[in-house]
Structure 1
Amino acid sequence: MSTDPKLDVRSDPPARRHELILSTYHELTPGTGFELVNDHDPKPLFYQFDAEYPGQFTWDYLESGPEVWRVRIGRPGA
């Protein structure tokens, strides 16, 4: 069982989700992460992270649909 905080964006408006996720990422200290819970595969978000923060994040699928997607997004340790 993960001790990472969960960010469930399923009830948030789609236009606001990336903003919430990115602000949560920016609050992470090195070596920590959070679990994103979403209602679709957040692949476009992965591409955004990869373009804006190359090598500065980790991305691990914990559950891959069809109803719920869970991804651990982390900030690598120093």
Structure 2
Amino acid sequence: MATDRLDLRDLPPSQRHETIHAAFDDLDAGEELTIVNDHDPQPLFYEFRAERDAFDAEGYVVEQRGPEEFVATLPKK
């Protein structure tokens, strides 16, 4: 399974969701996007679950690795 990775911590917040959506759209079915963020991306999970039919919500994983390091995996069906 191929994985793309984005570290969003240096990207302005106003550009993050647009960047994530574009990267997710570029994935093929069965691939996943891993993002590194400075806060819990739970709102992004709900956004993807509501708006992206190709998002595999059951396979979503998020791990807090530090006070400002959250790593989330967004799989594509």
TM bin (shorter chain): 0.7 to 0.9
Alpha-carbon offset, residue 66 of structure 1: 2.4
1:15 maps to amino acid: S
* TM-score (normalised: structure 2): 0.83
Structural mapping, 1:1-78, within 5 Å: 4-54=3-53, 56-58=54-56, 59-61=60-62, 63-64=63-64, 65-76=66-77
Measured against aligned partners, the alpha-carbon deviations of 1:8-38 in whole angstroms (never above 9, x if no partner) come to 1100000000000000000010000121000
TM-score (norm 1): 0.82
Which structure shows the bigger proportion of residues in helix conformation? 2
Q: Which runs of 4+ in 1 moved over 3 A?
A: none
Shift of 1:6: 1.2
Count of paired positions:
73
List runs of 5+ in structure 1 lacking aligned partners: none
CA RMSD of aligned residues (A): 1.8
| Between 28-37 and 65-74, the greater mean CA deviation after superposition | 65-74
